[in-house]
Chains A and B, each alone.
Chain A
Amino acid sequence: MGELEMEKHVRYILTIEKKKDDFVSLVIEHLRINGAYWGLTTLDLLGKIETIDQDEVVSWVMKCQDESGGFAGNIGHDPHILYTLSAVQILALLDKLDVLDIDKVSNYVAGLQNEDGSFSGDIWGEVDTRFSYIAICCLSILRRLEKINVEKAVDFVVRCKNLDGGFGSTPGGESHAGQIFCCVGALALTGSLHHIDRDLLGWWLCERQVKSGGLNGRPEKLPDVCYSWWVLSSLVMIDRVHWIDKEKLARFILDCQDKENGGISDRPDDAVDVFHTYFGVAGLSLLEYPGVKAIDPAYALPVDVVNKIIFKK
């Protein structure tokens, strides 16, 4: 088995951060803040967060905040709950939450809760269990969970549970590993994991491992490095991660590395990107790969960050 090319991945992240001159970085201009979260978390997991200019990042993040209190994907864009979580996670990562007007941000997030307990992503009202997780995670980091109706929020997530033990985006929606991560995360952060049949869901999740060792997100789909995170973190949260073949999964992730230029792709030999680089490294972190910092499966932040900020350890 190959090794994790830590230094090359660090270099890869640092160069894409500088490279704003190609079309790809241009089209993701509007979600740069998500990219920043993926890149910075990866650097921290690899122990290299100090290589970036943190003050520059913080001042840029704060420029993405809108009057509403929410954050946009970049300066001058519109706020959305997706970007707001990334902004809060970045500030937590850099231990700079004190620059935030916590009530303003948390009011924005709490204002997106609907009557039935679900959350919209923005003022246009799209509903998805992804947003339930994001709202709950964001408010947990800000320690303002009391601003929403947690009971109703949990009820909505539970209504999206399927008979296979998994969860979909809305009631009746097909079980999907990404949505399962969001729903399990939302339930974990609100102390509501008793709503999950751990054995049933655990079995569904471990059935996601295919012959190559990789994980897919739904039956009969191809394995993909990003599911290493979604499936694995869910398994960790319900304490069933020992049901899969961890060694084979680690090998699959390592096979997706670009060993020359750094970065990790979705499947072996595909082109690398920052998204899959983050999910690959985060997956290896959950697999306790030596040299990679531990990540918290629910907050999606390094454990030491969570301890410091949330548990004040």
Chain B
Amino acid sequence: MDSDEDERIPFSQRPEWSDIKPVPQDDGPNPVVPIAYHEDFRETMDYFRAVYLADERTPRSLRLTSEAIAMNAGNYTVWHFRRLILETLNTDLHEEFDFIENIAKSNSKNYQIWHHRRWVAEKMGTEATNMELKFTRKILSLDAKNYHAWSHRQWVLQALGGWEDELDYCLQLLEEDIYNNSAWNQRYFVITRSPLLGGLPAMRESEVRYTIEVILLNPDNESPWRYLRGLYKGDAEALVGDPQVSCLCMKVLSVRGNTFALNLLLDLLCHGLQPNGELKSVVEGLTNSESDSIDPSLAIKVCSLLETLDPMRSNYWAWRKVTLPSHTKAI
């Protein structure tokens, strides 16, 4: 269809369509101006309305929906009718995948396409697994954060399987772009849900090691900091109990101030971390205002540092400061 786009023959001049009377869009009461729509598209939709209203589920109607979708992949009703036709004609769904792939190239963020793809894959079952994993890989190679592609991929893994290479795939994407939050999310999805890896308890140690390594290389990357917290399932006591975590904060802060490290340190202090002398002196080194050195509380110093380092969220940090648990004020 791509190749002969320039020499499109209007439906009104195609013999196979001579029996159809096109139906124009009813634009409601008082259509404001005579509508001078883009002619090809208008004509296609007029013929579409005709077969749709007649509920004509034939191969020619299927071809007509292909043309209509190629011109505008967002029209919900056209997709809806296409599925009805596919069901009625019992069409070979392999061809449908090729069709979708063609359309998806230029419309990878269109809800309808992904929904349709899911519908076809669901009908096909596990036979579609590899094809779907390959297809989403292809889309993600063009846009690694495409939300639809990720949703589809997660659905494929859970409904059809194919978990074997998923952790490697996440690693590969993170090597390409360590800031890719979608890949971090997928990594968490895999380590917590893959039936092959034993879940979070089995994966935690190696994941913590990997994440710490990544953070030390790029401390300004928001995603691994959140991932690290996720590895402890938001359990603050477990975070406090692991010396690797406070050690990471210290290492990062010994180079320079960093909002993520300071924020994590603040949470650790709020949940009972007893800071050692080394940690205190690292934070001390970042503080230059005399006013804070009068107040000995480490948590207050951390809050003040955050207020200066991140002025856009200064209200947040000020709030953290006034809501500090009383036990933090003594250390």
Contact = CB atoms under 8 A, between A and B. Distances in A.
A163 B226 contact: yes
A18 B27 CA distance: 12
Given A27-B74, A80-B76, A126-B115, A63 B28 contact: yes
Nearest to B314: A245
Q: Which of B71, B76, B189 has the most CB of A within 10 A?
A: B76
A206 B223 CA distance: 15
B115 to A, nearest CB: 5
Contact of B29 (A60, A169, A219, A242): A60
B76 A75 contact: no
B72 interface: yes
Interface string B102-131: 000000000100010011000000000000
Interface in A167-210: 168-170, 172-176, 197, 200, 202-204, 206-207, 209
Contacts of A174: 147, 150, 181-182, 185-186
A259 interface: no
Contact of A18 (B33, B37, B72, B188): B33
A23 to B, nearest CB: 4
B172 interface: no
A162 to B, nearest CB: 8
What secondary structure prevails in chain B residues at the interface with A? Answer: helix
B304 interface: no
B179 interface: yes
Q: Which of B83, B150, B186 has the most CB of A within 10 A?
A: B150
B32 A172 contact: no
A118 interface: no
A27 B72 contact: yes
A211 B311 CA distance: 10
A239 to B, nearest CB: 11
Contacts of A56: 28-30
Contacts of A200: 234
Contact of A163 (B80, B158, B234): B234
Interface in A141-185: 162-164, 168-170, 172-176
Interface string B15-41: 000000000011111111101111001
Interface string A57-90: 0011001000000001111111010000000000
B150 A21 contact: no
B313 interface: yes
A243 interface: yes
Contact of B316 (A76, A170, A243): A243
Nearest to B180: A220
B147 A176 contact: yes
A220 B77 contact: no
B272 interface: no
Given A30-B75, A30-B77, A174-B181, A75 B154 contact: no
Interface of A: 18, 20-23, 26-31, 56, 59-60, 63, 72-78, 80, 122, 124-126, 162-164, 168-170, 172-176, 197, 200, 202-204, 206-207, 209, 211, 213, 218-221, 242-245, 248
5 contacts: A21-B37, A27-B41, A124-B115, A197-B234, A220-B179
